[in-house]
Amino acid sequence: MINGVRHEEHPDMSALWHDVVNDLQHVYDLHFVCASFSYQIARHTQTRTLIALDDSEAQCYDLWVTDPEGATKQLKWTKAESGIPPLMSISQPTFLEKMDRPAAEILSGNLWLQAHQRLLVAPLLPTARPYQAFPQTFLALIDPTDSNLQLIKGIVNLMCVYLDRAGLRTDVDRRTIEFAVISDISQALSGTLDIHQIYQLLKGPIRQVLNVETLSIALVEPVTEDIVFVDSLLGPRFTQLPPVRLKRGQGIAGWVAEHREPVIINNAYSDQRFFSDVDRTSGFRTHSMICIPLQVNERTIGIFQAINRKSGKFSDRDLQLIQALAGPLAAAIENANLHADVLAEMRRTEALFATLSEGLITVNREGIITRANSAFAALVSRPVEKVIGLSLRDIFRDRKGDIDQIIERALSATEDSVELALEFAREDHPALSLYLGGAPVTNDTGQVDEIIFIFSDLTEAQEVERMRDDLFEGIIHELGTPLATILMYSRLLQKGRVRQPDRAERFLGVIERESDRLQRMIRQMLDIAKIEAGEIRRSPEPVLLNPLFEEVLPPMADRAIQKGLLFRQRIEPDLPPVMGEIEGYKLVLNNLLDNAIKFTPSGSIQVAAWKADEGVMVEVSDDGIGIPPGSINNLFRRFYRTQTAVERSIAGSGLGLYMVKESLRNYNGSIEVESTLGKGSVFKIILPIVQT
Ligand code: ADP
């Protein structure tokens, strides 16, 4: 019995039943089920039969219309043109007379165009079924006989069973496919540490599976807790715009991050939480969205949004899919970010390691070098790759066991750092004084696996200290001589022992000369202090030499002529600019010319300047007393004066040429001397031309 109707009373029914069951024995396809019922009902009732299956995503019906001879037409009607929706509220198979229906309904629907007089309609609603698996289905017999009613009443239940069966199978198949894709994507996500690759997966396959216009991710900024959208996922409308940033709680994304709950919205603009500013500035239009929190170990790292479902509405099923993806996605983003942090940290350490001017190495528990930077390699005069694998003790030939001892101390991890002063004996070179600082590196279990050692070369610092001591000694000595002379003569004058006016005159002359010398020396020492402190060594700039010669040469020429010397100059016009500093070059020229005049009792002095391939050449030559060959190498040292100059009591400090050499060195210039004792000297300098 079906719905109280016995088969025997309706022989058509059992034949129809039999044919349908036969037809659909192994069929699970919704469309096939509809086609088969349409065909069998039309054949058995000899009435045109129509079955419409709701395709809610496309907003239309798929239709099968079969005439009594069994010819089936398959059609597609939009919902609006079909005229079916108003009839879906009918709960039982019912006859509808065309005459009884409102005119508007009859005129507006395709359905009524099929019938002359009446329809027998039977909506099959999924809500009436336990599984609710199939879409809304509508059965209509066109111009039926009265007896058709019982038959239809009997058949709708059977039809529901088959529709359900097919619906369930379609559903299961779809889920199987979706979860297979999700599992593939999850695997791909867990297999990459590259954040860009993750974003590519989101833009491509993940977006396709979810059937949405766009996917976006916003990450929670650790300090501000603001939610910042990932630019590269936002698409071309956002490229010219500032980053999209929401406060905690602001917009749907902010709400989801704060409440850690997913949200399904099918009409964004009607949701009070929606923050429409982003749409307004970008021109993008948000209709629907699913937004879920991305969590790693209870911590919300961001949110994941699927925006604008391409057809139909977002459903719980979509949410399930997105949630299935969110776990692997959050883990992949977290891992990629951690990995990027580790890489950045490694690069920073590498850069620090490589660029540090101090020698840096790591050694293992056995004291074997595992890493070394180039400064360390230079210190021990071996290439980096030859240093790695050697024992620290062997490199420094430490027989006393000092190195073993500090390694031991570092390994015990009782001290934060250890240190040692070390002499490094080298072949052909003086020994190096090194300072060695070490810090233990502990592993996860707190054990020391490695020690970092830093090597500082104290030799240079000690040398600088020694030079400073020398300079002080020199200064005291050099200042002492003129001071003692001044003191002696002034005392003689004071005590009135000098009666003859010409002697007093001579004594005053000595005092004046020595005071001049003192003053000059003090000035020079200040200049030296400035040069050494780098004050004169400001950044080099182009210097024009012709105006400089015009300023420096005339007073020097006057002095030479006053002394009875011949002064000649041959300066090429339009010399190219040279790199350096005006004050520095003035100092160079003044010192060289001052010496030439000072050390030339008679004869001539020449200055020449011309442009050559290697730079601008400047030559200062004289017919003076010359320099003994053995002194040439010492000329540029501090306080050095030749014996010949001292013997002749020619005033000087021995600082001028030192300053000349230092200044030229700062500007990459060079100086050479040629001299013949008793004949004269030539000082040649080369100045670097400004490269254009
Ligand atoms: P100063 O001239 O004050 O003694 P310098 O450093 O300028 O100091 O020169 C160092 C020494 O080099 C001079 O004392 C002198 O012995 C020698 N010297 C420099 N220039 C000449 C020169 N043109 N002819 C001979 N000797 C020179």
**Cα(352) to centroid(ligand 1), Å:** 47
Q: Predicted confidence band at 485 (pLDDT cuts at 50, 70, 90)? A: confident
Residue with the smallest CA separation from ligand 1 atom 16 is 642
Task: Using CA atoms of 338, 339, 340, 345 in order, give the dihedral in degrees to the nearest 10.
Answer: 90
Write down the pLDDT at residue 9: 46
- Could you write out the DSSP letters of every residue in 399-438? -S-HHHHHHHHHHTT-SS-EEEEEEEEETTEEEEEEEEEE
Distance CA 292, CA 324 (A): 11
Distance CA 200, CA 653 (A): 76
Residue (of 406, 373, 405, 401) closest to 388 by Cα position: 373
Q: Ligand 1 pocket test: pick from 599, 600, 631, 681 the residue with the most ligand atoms within 8 Å of its Cβ.
A: 599
CB-CB contact of 578 with 518 (8 Å): no
Write down the pLDDT at residue 538: 61
Residue pLDDT, tens place only, 363-407? 999 999 999 999 999 888 889 899 999 998 888 887 788 888 889
Residue with the smallest CA separation from ligand 1 atom 2 is 652
**Cα(573) to centroid(ligand 1), Å:** 29
Distance CA 567, CA 571 (A): 13
**Cα(530) to centroid(ligand 1), Å:** 21
Side chain identity at 387, as an amino acid letter? V
> Is the pLDDT at 480 greater than 70, yes or no?
yes
CB distance 625 to ligand 1 below 6 Å: yes
Where on the phi/psi map is residue 217: left (φ > 0), alpha (ψ -120 to 50), or beta?
beta
Residue predicted with more confidence, 515 or 607: 607
- Could you write out the DSSP letters of every residue in 625-668? S---GGGGGGTTSTT---HHHHHTT----S-HHHHHHHHHHHTT
CB-CB contact of 686 with 616 (8 Å): yes
Write down the pLDDT at residue 8: 43
CB distance 656 to ligand 1 below 6 Å: yes
> Is the pLDDT at 7 greater than 50, yes or no?
no
What's the average model confidence in pLDDT over 342-347?
89
Write down the pLDDT at residue 32: 93
In this structure, what token pair is assigned to residue 390? Answer: 């050697």
> Is the pLDDT at 362 greater than 70, yes or no?
yes
Residue with the smallest CA separation from ligand 1 atom 8 is 654
Distance CA 38, CA 50 (A): 6
Residue pLDDT, tens place only, 200-223? 888 888 888 888 999 999 999 988
Write down the pLDDT at residue 1: 38
CB distance 645 to ligand 1 below 6 Å: yes
Write down the pLDDT at residue 119: 94
Distance CA 411, CA 452 (A): 11
Residues 6+ positions from 3 with CB-CB distance below 8 Å: 153, 154, 157
Q: Predicted confidence band at 3 (pLDDT cuts at 50, 70, 90)? A: very low
Side chain identity at 283, as an amino acid letter? G
CB distance 325 to ligand 1 below 6 Å: no
User: What's the predicted TM-score (pTM) here?
Assistant: 0.49
Residue pLDDT, tens place only, 427-468? 777 788 888 888 888 888 888 889 999 998 887 777 767 767
| Spacing of C-alpha 222 from chain mean position | 18
Q: Ligand 1 pocket test: pick from 481, 513, 641 the residue with the most ligand atoms within 8 Å of its Cβ.
A: 641
Residue predicted with more confidence, 198 or 473: 198
Side chain identity at 111, as an amino acid letter? L
Atom of ligand 1 nearest to the CA of 659: 6
Distance CA 169, CA 176 (A): 10
What's the average model confidence in pLDDT over 469-486?
77
Give the Cα-Cα-Cα angle 585, 586, 589 (nearest 5 degrees). Answer: 85
What's the average model confidence in pLDDT over 549-563?
94
**Cα(469) to centroid(ligand 1), Å:** 23
Residues 6+ positions from 490 with CB-CB distance below 8 Å: 511
CB-CB contact of 638 with 655 (8 Å): yes
Q: Using the structure block, give the residue that is written with the tokens 């030749």.
A: 642
**Cα(595) to centroid(ligand 1), Å:** 6
What's the average model confidence in pLDDT over 261-275?
92
Residue predicted with more confidence, 91 or 71: 71
What's the average model confidence in pLDDT over 630-651?
84
Atom of ligand 1 nearest to the CA of 524: 3
**Cα(575) to centroid(ligand 1), Å:** 28
